[in-house]
Amino acid sequence: MSGSTFTVRLLGATATLMLVAACGGTTTSPVGNKSATPGAGTSGVVGVATTTLGPVLVDSKGFTVYMLTADTKGHSTCSATCLQYWPLVPAPAGAGIPPVQGVSAALAATKATSGASMVTAGGWPLYTFVKDTAPGQVAGEGVKTFGGTWYAVSPSGAPVTTAASPTPAATSSAGGGGYGY
């Protein structure tokens, strides 16, 4: 009996580790592309994940990245109060942001109104949203505040203004009973 209990616990631990890796691991994004997580040869700032809006840019923690229509390409208008709700995606120190697999938008850096260096995609300054409390959430989509409308950002750097076709739940990326093989 103790051998079968051990096997069940081992299988449970393995399933837990697989779920953690699928939901926020550091080597692959939820859509199976190499993500931009800290490590050799990556920018450590953005990657791609599939949400209810379709593929969108995410930060290094897997949270949806947004742009504000009040911004202009390369220029952030988000004030100190705005940044409390819409934290900027910080640019890494050093020379430039290298390309990221799955992201066709040009990645660069600009200065926020606070003077901090932040990432841009296709020229748009990038932010996350404090009401997104877990990777894959898109609570900031279509919010009208701080002089414009907030939209998730596609891998091409364009605002995502319409929802994707219905897809399986984010935790079941490959069907087959939700195991995601």
Ranges of each domain in the chain: 3-164
Q: Helix (H, G, I), strand (E, B), or coil: what is residue 68?
A: strand
75 contacts 108 by C-beta, under 8 angstroms: no
Q: What is the pLDDT of residues 11-41, one digit of tens each?
A: 343 333 333 333 333 323 333 333 333 322 3
pLDDT at position 73, please?
A: 85
Q: What is the pLDDT of residues 102-136, one digit of tens each?
A: 999 999 999 999 999 999 999 999 999 999 999 99
Q: Band the pLDDT of 165: cuts 50, 70, 90.
A: low
Closest of 132, 54, 130 to residue 86, by C-alpha: 130
Check pLDDT > 90 for residue 162: no
Q: pTM score, two decimals?
A: 0.68
